[in-house]
Amino acid sequence: MAAGKLTSKQRVAWTFLTIGVLLYALFPVASIFVTSFKTQADLGSNQFWPTTWTWDNYEMIFVGGAQELFLTALRNSIGITLIATAVAVVLSTLCAYAIARLNFPGKRIILGTALAVSIFPVISVVTPLFNLWRTIGLYDTWLGLIIPYLSLTLPISIWTLSAFFRQIPWELEQAALVDGATQWQAFRKAIVPLAAPGVFTTAIIAFFIAWNDFVYGISLTSTEAARPVPAALAFFTGASQFEEPTGAISAAAIVVTIPVVVLVLLFQRQIVSGLTQGAVKG
């Protein structure tokens, strides 16, 4: 058997293993999807499939009683996430370039600190941040969420881009400088275009992290002025006090998952390319 070539039994084993992992990972999503089409009567039963498929839950979040809560939260999520992603990409690009290209004391400490921040428990930061934001007037504002989101997105962005910048030949920038370009022109016209796959990958990852945040969204907001969708789902109510909002919550969860799925399907090659190129030491 040639090196690296799988036998028939190994292919079958890997196929069953892959199918098992996919079923394990996708079953919760399938359950939420099915629940979003259930009637209130079906929600109380133990059946997986609804006896009657209905769009009532989607109508509730778009034109019904949960319309204002959901659509406002959706607008907040889109705006806050896009701004946080854009700021994180710009700052991490500049920081990663400096770390990859320049020799200065403390470079490893910066990378280590970024990694430490990324693994620091978010819940331990919420209380002091809550008190600080109330004092300086950032509580329940877009800016009050964008700044904490940067603490989530910047570390992974810096690590991803710094690894990617190391793969770009240093001679290209030197050639641009010899031709009369300034340091900024060489960076903008020679380095950034080559780093586009890594920058794009970083933007996608940062978007996912900010889009899915719940802890900051629920702790640093009190009204619909800045509350994002993950936090707003906790405030869904049924048509009456005796009615569970499970169907409406499931419908809203499916809606906010669609952008993530669409982005991955459309740009999966760019994402894989950016991650693999940044992971290979050239």
**74, 211 in Cβ contact below 8 A?**
no
* Mean pLDDT calculated for residue range 154-171: 84
Percent of the chain predicted with pLDDT > 90: 25
| pLDDT above 70 for 2 | no
Amino acid 143: pLDDT: 94
Which of the two residues, 186 and 241, has the higher pLDDT score? Answer: 186
Measured in Å, how far apart are the chain's first and last C-alpha atoms? 31
Amino acid 227: pLDDT: 93
Amino acid 243: pLDDT: 65
**Superfamily of 68-279 according to CATH:** MetI-like (1.10.3720.10)
268: amino acid identity, one letter: Q
Where is 236: in which H helix or E strand? none
**221, 229 in Cβ contact below 8 A?**
no
| pLDDT above 60 for 40 | yes
> How far apart, in whole angstroms, are the C-alpha atoms of residue 92 and residue 112?
15
Where is 9: in which H helix or E strand? helix 8-35
Find all residues with CB under 8 Å of 236, minimum gap 6, and list them: 66, 69, 70, 245, 248, 249, 252
Closest by CA to 274, choosing from 170, 161, 177, is: 161
- The DSSP 8-state label assigned to residue 180 in this structure reads T
Amino acid 280: pLDDT: 47
Count other Cβ atoms within 10 Å, centred on residue 185. Answer: 13
Amino acid 148: pLDDT: 93
Chain segment 183-237, per-residue pLDDT in tens: 788 888 888 888 887 888 889 889 989 999 999 999 999 998 899 999 988 888 7
Average pLDDT taken over every residue of the chain: 84
Chain segment 107-152, per-residue pLDDT in tens: 778 778 877 877 778 888 898 999 999 999 999 999 999 999 998 8
Count other Cβ atoms within 10 Å, centred on residue 74. Answer: 19
Chain segment 81-94, per-residue pLDDT in tens: 999 999 999 999 98
